[in-house]
Amino acid sequence: MLNIKPYEDMMKLDLPDAERAWVSARAGALVDSFAALDNMDTDGIEPLVTVLDIQNVLREDISVKMLPREELLASAPEQYDGYFQVPKTLL
């Protein structure tokens, strides 16, 4: 069984003993299943970045002419120091 007490402390949990044993057994089985991967020979195998055959789905980064700041702020109900002024949203 895996000692999960350090993880409990990290997550600020205090599991009952029965639940701790259940989680420990499941986590131990998971660790054991990944331990089997340590015995596999992966020399010469390229890491897989994606399973999809997509190269670049992003648009070209082309600069476009923007409106001048003064023209944008002309329609603002309130402005301050060259920026839109909006109500405070944080408490």
Residue 58 lies in a domain: no
Residue 34 lies in a domain: yes
Indicate whether 25 belongs to any domain. Answer: yes
Mean pLDDT within 2-10: 90
Q: Is residue 32 part of a domain?
A: yes
Checking 26-35 for CB contacts under 8 A at 24+ apart, the result is 27/2, 28/1, 28/2, 31/2
Q: If we measure between CA atoms, which residue out of 59, 4, 8, 52 comes closest to residue 27?
A: 4
Domain of residue 18, residue span: 5-39
Percent of the chain scored above 70 by pLDDT? 99
How buried is residue 4: exposed, middle or buried, by Cβ count under 10 Å (0-12/13-18/19+)?
buried
pLDDT category, 49, cuts 50, 70, 90? confident
Q: How many domains does the chain have?
A: 1
Residue 47: inside a domain, yes or no?
no
44 inside domain: no
Residue at 18 is within a domain: yes
pTM over 0.75: no
pLDDT score for 50: 81
Residue 52 lies in a domain: no
